[in-house]
Structure 1
Amino acid sequence: MIALTEEAIRSSFVNASRRERTDANLPPTWASTLWESLDYLGWRDPKLPGRAYAVIPVETGRLVGIMFRQAEASVGLRMMCAWCEDVWLNSEVVFYGAKRSGAAGRQGNTVGTYVCRDFNCSENVRRDPPLPYQGYDMEAARNTRIMQLQQKAAAFAMNL
């Protein structure tokens, strides 16, 4: 992922009002982000519990920023992240909902998905799983998981 400016992040939000864009708190570690190891930028708002954001590259050079709300209730089961599909998760998976962009969002329509609570999908897909068998091509598997994460996150963003 390319390095993003504050202006690029704030202007990318498609389902937030002008005020919500301005009030969004950037991640505390934003200045020291290792952009080359990210497939999208995702973070929980440090000052507003239950609010989270993701900025996802879609198409050539276009960004889609999403403002999420975390569901208050949990299902009590261990869910799998819909984006990274990691089975060796180090973090919790939660349901995030997002209002749709445009007229649909103003009418209250939303979409949602189960995602890693702290948006550490990029780290998860780059971690090597246990070797399933001798001769297994770990690098090819890692590259496939990275590509699938990028495709799934972009597909969700384009569905707003």
Structure 2
Amino acid sequence: MRPASEPDIRASFVNCTKGEAKRLAVPRDLAARPWEDLDFLGWREPAAPQRAYLVTESGDGFVGVALRLAAPYAGRGRRSMCSLCLTTHPGDGVSLMTARRAGQTGQQGNSVGAYICTDLDCSLYLRGKKRVDPGGRLRESITLAEQIERTTANLAGFLGKVLG
């Protein structure tokens, strides 16, 4: 992913108002992010941990979506798999994240959801830059490039539902 500036990020959101995009907490460490290893930029809002944001490249610009984490349920002792990168996590390492749909359907309260790595570090798990212990990434017979392609296709499918 190419580096994104704060104005790029704020202008990219498709499922919230300009005022909401202006008020959201953009990460302060944008210059320190490993952009060459990212397929998308994802972060949680420190003051409101149930809010998360995801920004990715699209054409000449960026597309961003505001997400909301569903409340965790009791007894999450088993492993769950991220629907984007297919990394498995124990406990609450994967969360159901919902995004209000863009446009009028979103204004009517319609949303879509996906199970995503709670820390939104899918790109780093894929590349082995971040690990889940124990287990985590299953050994795959496809190349890293094919895994990245699959992850970006899964992300595009989710974003297509948000924009749809």
TM-score by length of 2: 0.83
**C-alpha distance 46-31 of structure 1, shift in aligned 2 (>3 A):** farther
Number of corresponding residues: 153
Q: Identity over aligned residues, as a percent? A: 34
Cα deviation 1:61-116 (Å, max 9, x = unaligned): 34210000100133734220000002477970000011001000000000000000
Looking at structure 1, the residues matched to 126 and 112 of structure 2 have their Cα atoms a distance apart, in angstroms, of: 24
Aligned twin of 1:121 = 122
Looking at structure 1, the residues matched to 150 and 139 of structure 2 have their Cα atoms a distance apart, in angstroms, of: 20
What displacement does 1:130 show?
A: 7.5
Aligned twin of 1:153 = 155
Looking at structure 2, the residues matched to 131 and 54 of structure 1 have their Cα atoms a distance apart, in angstroms, of: 27
Q: Give the structure with the larger strand fraction.
A: 2
- Unmatched runs of 5 consecutive residues or more in structure 2: 130-136
Aligned twin of 1:10 = 10
**C-alpha distance 149-130 of structure 1, shift in aligned 2 (>3 A):** closer
**Is the 2:72–2:92 Cα contact (8 Å) retained in structure 1?**
no
SS in structure 1 opposite 2:79? coil
**Is the 2:84–2:155 Cα contact (8 Å) retained in structure 1?**
yes
**Is the 2:97–2:115 Cα contact (8 Å) retained in structure 1?**
yes
Aligned twin of 2:134 = none
**C-alpha distance 103-65 of structure 1, shift in aligned 2 (>3 A):** same
**Is the 1:56–1:65 Cα contact (8 Å) retained in structure 2?**
yes
Looking at structure 1, the residues matched to 21 and 139 of structure 2 have their Cα atoms a distance apart, in angstroms, of: 44
What displacement does 1:31 show?
A: 2.7
What displacement does 1:127 show?
A: 2.0
Tell me which stretches of 4 or more aligned residues in structure 1 moved more than 6 Å.
Answer: 88-91
What RMSD in Å do the two structures reach over aligned CA positions?
Answer: 2.3
Looking at structure 2, the residues matched to 36 and 42 of structure 1 have their Cα atoms a distance apart, in angstroms, of: 14
**C-alpha distance 122-90 of structure 1, shift in aligned 2 (>3 A):** farther
SS in structure 2 opposite 1:79? strand
